[in-house]
Amino acid sequence: MAADRLISSGSPWEASIGYSRATVAGEYVHVSGSTASVDGEVHHEGDAHGQTLVALNLVIAPALAQVGYSLADVVRSRVYLANAADVDAVARAHGEVFGDIRPAATMVAGVSMVDPKMLVEIEVDAWKRG
């Protein structure tokens, strides 16, 4: 079954790989794995905390905003880390953004990223809460 709406970031990878930045299915929005890559450049190289904030605030938040949602509507996050040593830095950044929202969350470490400069990849699910 096709999603109700596909959200694009304009990335050339979306068509060639066959994915959308996000999809809307009923009241839910599912945002694909997002990194600190903006306009083809990885921001905050070597800084997992900074990369987490970029992924959440500059990639995920705008995708949600395209359909009238915000980070406050996130009910689940999944965080993938290249290095287990970055858990504390990423958890701190996640808490800065989601401290009052407190979505269900998963964090997995030891993941190989497609670009070695990328330390963090995050995907979220959002639901319009009334």
pTM over 0.95: no
Residue 122 belongs to domain spanning = 5-127
CATH number for 40 = 3.30.1330.40
**Dist. CA 129–CA 8, nearest whole Å:** 23
- The pLDDT, as a whole number, for residue 3 is 52
pLDDT of residue 1: 35
Q: In total, how many domains does the chain have? A: 1
pLDDT of residue 130: 60
- Ordered mean pLDDT values, 10 residues apiece, the chain (130 residues): 66 76 91 91 97 96 94 98 98 97 97 96 90
**Residue 79 contacts residue 107 (beta carbons within 8 Å):** yes
Backbone phi, psi, residue 103, to 5°:
-70, 160
